[in-house]
Structure 1
Amino acid sequence: MPNRSIVIHTTRRQLELYEGNRLIQHYPIAVGKGSTPTPYGRYSIATKTVYPGGVFGSRWMGLSLPHYGIHGTSNPTSIGQAISKGCVRMHNHDVENLFQLVGIGTPVIIQP
Protein backbone atom coordinates (compact mmCIF):
# COMPACT_ATOMS: atom_id res chain seq x y z
CA MET A 1 0.00 0.00 0.00
CA PRO A 2 1.18 3.56 -0.62
CA ASN A 3 2.10 5.80 2.31
CA ARG A 4 -1.50 6.40 3.41
CA SER A 5 -2.93 7.65 6.68
CA ILE A 6 -6.36 8.51 8.07
CA VAL A 7 -7.15 11.64 10.08
CA ILE A 8 -10.51 11.81 11.83
CA HIS A 9 -11.88 15.19 12.93
CA THR A 10 -14.59 14.46 15.50
CA THR A 11 -15.94 18.03 15.78
CA ARG A 12 -16.18 18.45 11.99
CA ARG A 13 -17.38 14.85 11.69
CA GLN A 14 -15.08 14.20 8.81
CA LEU A 15 -12.59 11.46 7.95
CA GLU A 16 -9.70 12.38 5.68
CA LEU A 17 -7.46 10.00 3.75
CA TYR A 18 -3.94 11.19 2.98
CA GLU A 19 -1.22 9.87 0.72
CA GLY A 20 1.92 11.35 2.24
CA ASN A 21 0.92 14.95 2.96
CA ARG A 22 -1.66 15.11 0.16
CA LEU A 23 -5.38 14.84 0.92
CA ILE A 24 -6.80 12.30 -1.55
CA GLN A 25 -10.31 11.72 -0.17
CA HIS A 26 -12.67 12.88 2.57
CA TYR A 27 -15.90 11.44 3.90
CA PRO A 28 -18.70 12.49 6.28
CA ILE A 29 -18.86 10.39 9.46
CA ALA A 30 -20.75 9.86 12.70
CA VAL A 31 -18.80 9.79 15.98
CA GLY A 32 -19.35 8.80 19.60
CA LYS A 33 -21.99 10.49 21.70
CA GLY A 34 -21.15 12.46 24.87
CA SER A 35 -21.36 9.45 27.19
CA THR A 36 -19.30 7.21 24.85
CA PRO A 37 -16.99 9.57 22.93
CA THR A 38 -14.69 8.53 20.12
CA PRO A 39 -11.25 8.31 21.80
CA TYR A 40 -8.57 10.77 20.65
CA GLY A 41 -5.15 9.39 19.88
CA ARG A 42 -2.90 7.63 17.40
CA TYR A 43 -3.92 4.14 16.36
CA SER A 44 -3.71 1.91 13.30
CA ILE A 45 -5.97 -0.37 11.27
CA ALA A 46 -5.58 -3.77 12.97
CA THR A 47 -8.28 -5.84 11.24
CA LYS A 48 -10.45 -5.68 8.12
CA THR A 49 -13.70 -7.64 7.79
CA VAL A 50 -16.41 -7.81 5.13
CA TYR A 51 -19.95 -8.02 6.55
CA PRO A 52 -23.18 -8.87 4.73
CA GLY A 53 -24.89 -5.88 6.36
CA GLY A 54 -26.45 -5.20 9.75
CA VAL A 55 -25.42 -2.70 12.41
CA PHE A 56 -21.78 -2.55 11.19
CA GLY A 57 -22.89 -2.06 7.60
CA SER A 58 -20.86 -3.81 4.92
CA ARG A 59 -17.30 -3.30 6.24
CA TRP A 60 -15.41 -3.18 9.56
CA MET A 61 -11.88 -1.85 10.05
CA GLY A 62 -10.89 -2.54 13.63
CA LEU A 63 -8.45 -0.17 15.29
CA SER A 64 -5.41 -1.11 17.35
CA LEU A 65 -7.55 0.07 20.30
CA PRO A 66 -9.72 -3.00 21.03
CA HIS A 67 -13.49 -2.68 20.55
CA TYR A 68 -13.21 0.46 18.38
CA GLY A 69 -13.34 0.68 14.63
CA ILE A 70 -14.40 2.40 11.45
CA HIS A 71 -17.47 0.77 9.96
CA GLY A 72 -20.56 1.18 7.82
CA THR A 73 -24.06 1.50 9.20
CA SER A 74 -27.58 0.21 8.73
CA ASN A 75 -28.76 3.73 9.72
CA PRO A 76 -27.46 6.22 7.11
CA THR A 77 -29.36 9.10 8.75
CA SER A 78 -26.91 8.85 11.68
CA ILE A 79 -24.02 10.15 9.56
CA GLY A 80 -23.07 13.67 10.65
CA GLN A 81 -24.15 13.11 14.25
CA ALA A 82 -22.51 12.30 17.58
CA ILE A 83 -24.50 9.11 18.12
CA SER A 84 -22.29 5.99 18.28
CA LYS A 85 -20.78 4.10 21.20
CA GLY A 86 -17.36 5.45 20.22
CA CYS A 87 -16.81 3.94 16.79
CA VAL A 88 -16.63 5.94 13.59
CA ARG A 89 -19.59 5.28 11.28
CA MET A 90 -19.59 5.87 7.54
CA HIS A 91 -22.07 5.48 4.70
CA ASN A 92 -21.69 1.93 3.37
CA HIS A 93 -20.58 3.10 -0.10
CA ASP A 94 -17.92 5.32 1.54
CA VAL A 95 -16.60 2.61 3.89
CA GLU A 96 -16.42 0.19 0.95
CA ASN A 97 -14.32 2.74 -0.95
CA LEU A 98 -12.02 3.41 2.02
CA PHE A 99 -11.70 -0.35 2.71
CA GLN A 100 -10.14 -0.78 -0.76
CA LEU A 101 -7.70 2.11 -0.25
CA VAL A 102 -6.13 1.21 3.11
CA GLY A 103 -4.39 -1.82 4.52
CA ILE A 104 -3.59 -3.36 7.88
CA GLY A 105 -1.20 -1.03 9.70
CA THR A 106 -2.51 2.21 8.14
CA PRO A 107 -2.09 4.96 10.78
CA VAL A 108 -5.30 6.49 12.17
CA ILE A 109 -5.19 9.80 14.04
CA ILE A 110 -8.35 10.79 15.92
CA GLN A 111 -8.52 14.40 17.04
CA PRO A 112 -11.14 17.01 18.03
Structure 2
Amino acid sequence: MAIWIDVSTSKHRLMLMDDNKLLKTYPIAVGKILTPTPSGTYTIINKQLNPPPPFGALWMGLSKPHYGIHGTNNPASIGKNRSHGCIRMFNHDVLELSSKVSLGTKVSIHK
Protein backbone atom coordinates (compact mmCIF):
# COMPACT_ATOMS: atom_id res chain seq x y z
CA MET A 1 0.00 0.00 0.00
CA ALA A 2 1.54 3.27 -1.11
CA ILE A 3 -0.14 6.66 -0.72
CA TRP A 4 0.81 9.16 -3.45
CA ILE A 5 -0.54 12.32 -5.08
CA ASP A 6 -1.48 12.68 -8.75
CA VAL A 7 -1.87 16.26 -10.02
CA SER A 8 -3.49 17.09 -13.38
CA THR A 9 -2.77 20.72 -14.25
CA SER A 10 -5.12 20.70 -17.26
CA LYS A 11 -8.04 19.32 -15.23
CA HIS A 12 -7.27 21.45 -12.14
CA ARG A 13 -7.47 18.46 -9.86
CA LEU A 14 -5.34 16.71 -7.28
CA MET A 15 -6.04 13.05 -6.62
CA LEU A 16 -5.01 11.23 -3.46
CA MET A 17 -4.13 7.70 -4.49
CA ASP A 18 -3.45 4.40 -2.72
CA ASP A 19 -1.44 2.47 -5.30
CA ASN A 20 -3.92 2.58 -8.22
CA LYS A 21 -7.03 3.20 -6.09
CA LEU A 22 -8.48 6.72 -6.00
CA LEU A 23 -9.13 7.83 -2.41
CA LYS A 24 -10.22 11.44 -2.97
CA THR A 25 -10.20 14.20 -5.59
CA TYR A 26 -9.63 17.87 -4.72
CA PRO A 27 -10.06 20.97 -6.91
CA ILE A 28 -6.89 23.05 -7.28
CA ALA A 29 -5.42 26.16 -8.87
CA VAL A 30 -2.17 25.88 -10.83
CA GLY A 31 0.42 28.14 -12.41
CA LYS A 32 -0.24 30.87 -14.94
CA ILE A 33 1.07 30.67 -18.52
CA LEU A 34 4.17 32.70 -17.60
CA THR A 35 4.75 30.79 -14.34
CA PRO A 36 3.52 27.24 -15.06
CA THR A 37 3.36 24.43 -12.53
CA PRO A 38 6.34 22.18 -13.34
CA SER A 39 5.60 18.67 -14.62
CA GLY A 40 7.56 15.84 -13.07
CA THR A 41 7.75 13.58 -10.04
CA TYR A 42 8.67 15.13 -6.71
CA THR A 43 8.32 14.37 -3.01
CA ILE A 44 6.91 16.30 -0.05
CA ILE A 45 9.93 17.48 1.93
CA ASN A 46 8.39 19.71 4.61
CA LYS A 47 5.14 20.96 6.10
CA GLN A 48 4.39 24.26 7.79
CA LEU A 49 1.14 25.08 9.57
CA ASN A 50 0.02 28.73 9.35
CA PRO A 51 2.76 29.88 6.94
CA PRO A 52 3.06 33.56 6.09
CA PRO A 53 0.52 34.96 3.61
CA PRO A 54 -0.44 34.19 0.87
CA PHE A 55 -0.02 30.46 1.53
CA GLY A 56 -3.24 29.92 3.47
CA ALA A 57 -3.52 27.49 6.36
CA LEU A 58 -0.70 25.11 5.44
CA TRP A 59 2.35 24.75 3.19
CA MET A 60 3.76 21.42 1.98
CA GLY A 61 7.08 21.99 0.21
CA LEU A 62 8.08 19.86 -2.75
CA SER A 63 11.55 18.53 -3.60
CA LYS A 64 11.62 21.09 -6.44
CA PRO A 65 12.84 24.24 -4.64
CA HIS A 66 10.32 27.09 -4.28
CA TYR A 67 7.32 24.92 -5.23
CA GLY A 68 4.68 23.44 -3.00
CA ILE A 69 1.10 22.49 -2.31
CA HIS A 70 -0.58 25.09 -0.12
CA GLY A 71 -3.81 26.70 1.00
CA THR A 72 -4.98 30.06 -0.24
CA ASN A 73 -6.45 33.29 1.07
CA ASN A 74 -8.08 33.69 -2.38
CA PRO A 75 -10.54 30.78 -2.70
CA ALA A 76 -11.97 32.27 -5.93
CA SER A 77 -8.72 31.25 -7.66
CA ILE A 78 -9.38 27.51 -7.25
CA GLY A 79 -10.08 25.89 -10.61
CA LYS A 80 -8.02 28.46 -12.49
CA ASN A 81 -4.46 29.10 -13.65
CA ARG A 82 -3.52 31.79 -11.14
CA SER A 83 -0.46 30.80 -9.12
CA HIS A 84 3.26 31.37 -9.65
CA GLY A 85 3.65 27.63 -10.20
CA CYS A 86 2.52 26.21 -6.89
CA ILE A 87 -0.55 24.05 -6.38
CA ARG A 88 -3.24 25.96 -4.46
CA MET A 89 -6.03 24.26 -2.54
CA PHE A 90 -8.92 25.38 -0.38
CA ASN A 91 -7.61 25.71 3.20
CA HIS A 92 -9.87 22.95 4.55
CA ASP A 93 -8.74 20.63 1.72
CA VAL A 94 -5.01 21.20 2.21
CA LEU A 95 -5.39 20.55 5.96
CA GLU A 96 -7.24 17.30 5.25
CA LEU A 97 -4.71 16.22 2.61
CA SER A 98 -1.78 16.98 4.92
CA SER A 99 -3.28 14.73 7.60
CA LYS A 100 -3.28 11.82 5.10
CA VAL A 101 0.22 12.17 3.63
CA SER A 102 3.63 12.08 5.23
CA LEU A 103 7.01 13.55 4.37
CA GLY A 104 8.47 11.63 1.45
CA THR A 105 5.08 11.14 -0.26
CA LYS A 106 5.45 11.03 -4.05
CA VAL A 107 3.77 13.82 -6.04
CA SER A 108 3.33 13.26 -9.78
CA ILE A 109 2.47 16.42 -11.77
CA HIS A 110 1.36 16.26 -15.41
CA LYS A 111 -0.89 18.08 -17.89
Please give the TM-score of this superposition, normalised by the length of structure 2. 0.97
Which residue matches 2:87? Answer: 88
Which residue matches 1:106? Answer: 105
Unmatched tracts of structure 1, length 5 or more: none
* Alpha-carbon shift at residue 54 of structure 1 (Å): 2.9
Task: Say if 2:2 is the partner of 1:9.
Answer: no
Q: Percent identity?
A: 51
What do residues 6-41 of structure 1 show as CA deviations (whole Å, max 9, x unaligned)? 000000000000011110011000000000000000
Which residue matches 2:32? Answer: 33
Paired residues, what number? 111
* Alpha-carbon shift at residue 53 of structure 1 (Å): 6.6
Task: Say if 2:74 is the partner of 1:75.
Answer: yes
- Mapping 1:50-69, distance limit 5 Å: 50-51=49-50, 54-69=53-68
Q: Distance in 2 between matches of 1:42 and 1:108?
A: 6
What root-mean-square deviation, in Å, do the aligned CA atoms of Structure 1 and Structure 2 show?
1.1
What do residues 53-76 of structure 1 show as CA deviations (whole Å, max 9, x unaligned)? 731000000000000000000000
Unmatched tracts of structure 2, length 5 or more: none
